[in-house]
Amino acid sequence: MNLQGTTALVTGASRGLGRAVALHLAAQGVKVAVNYRHQRNMAELVVAEIRAGGGDAEPIAGDVGAAPEADALVAQTESALGPIDLLVNNAGIFRRSSLDEFSESEFSEMRRVNVDGLVYVTRAAARGMKERGRGRIVNLASIAALGTLMAGTTFYAATKAEVILLTRRFAMELGPFGISVNAIAPGFILTDMVYQNRTAAEADALIADIASRTMLGRTGRPEDIASAVSFLLAQDFLTAQVLTVDGGRTDYISHAG
């Protein structure tokens, strides 16, 4: 499918991977709703960059993990930019923890945003997609759900395993309506998330360590994920798939001694 002239909602697009996805889609002539939760100024910068390049975009506030806000951000997108053809469920949070330091409130907040948020926004956007008989959805999972054993990511990984399961089940449920649902499982990509809950020195050591155990010898850039999301959105006969985009990190772990 040629994406030119379609409308996309990208959740969590004020920064990081969502921002890169929004810019990449806009460069292909897609009208983009740039959702954010807190950082309106960052979302407005993304929108300004798109408009400066001749594209069409709107900043759309809303917490994906609150059902009424998810409904509202879908409605606002459609009234500003037209019916949603493409949905990228990107908004997500990471809280580092182990079993010993398990925090109920942090786990439930991760699940609220990473899992409930994806369900609420998908439900809201799918209503119109079903009526129109077409739609493309891409969810952001993580290689954490596939078993990279990075310390402190167990409960985050559990939320991303749910994302993978929901991707396949929603693909089943929405396929008869002409809607595809796929996921990307990114590897280690340099965004704000990498620096959260770590000192700069810890983050730098982690980056060097991961790059040394990745087939392509580097960590990922947001654009690496944006081009993969865009690829999935353009496919006509591909659904229920999880595409790992990690420079060969999980395979390095499988194959190295």
Ligand X SMILES: NC(=O)c1ccc[n+]([C@@H]2O[C@H](COP(=O)([O-])OP(=O)(O)OC[C@H]3O[C@@H](n4cnc5c(N)ncnc54)[C@H](OP(=O)(O)O)[C@@H]3O)[C@@H](O)[C@H]2O)c1
Q: What does the binding site for ligand X look like in residue numbers (CB under 6 A)?
A: 11-18, 35-39, 42, 63-65, 90-94, 113, 117, 140, 142, 186, 188-189, 191-194
* Nearest residue (CB) to ligand X, 61 versus 134: 61
Q: Indicate which residue of 36, 156, 195, 252 is catalytic.
A: 156
135/188 with CB nearer ligand X: 188
Shortest spacing between CB 257 and ligand X, in angstroms: 26
Select 31 or 249, whichever has its Cβ closest to ligand X. 249
- Cβ of residue 196: shortest distance to ligand X, in angstroms? 7
User: Is 36 among the catalytic positions?
Assistant: no
| Closer residue to ligand X (CB): 66 or 177 | 66
Instruction: State the nearest-atom distance from the C-beta of 1 to ligand X, in Å.
Output: 23
What is the three-state SS of the chain? CCCCCCEEEECCCCCHHHHHHHHHHHHCCCEEEEEECCCHHHHHHHHHHHHHCCCCEEEEECCCCCHHHHHHHHHHHHHHHCCCCEEEECCCCCCCECCCCCCHHHHHHHHHHHHHHHHHHHHHHHHHHHHHCCEEEEEECCHHHHCCCCCCEHHHHHHHHHHHHHHHHHHHHHHHHCEEEEEEEECCECCHHHHCCCCHHHHHHHHHHHHHCCCCCCCECHHHHHHHHHHHHCCCCCCCCEEEECCCHHHHHHHCC
Q: How far is the CB of 222 from ligand X (least distance, A)?
A: 7
Residues recognised as catalytic: 156
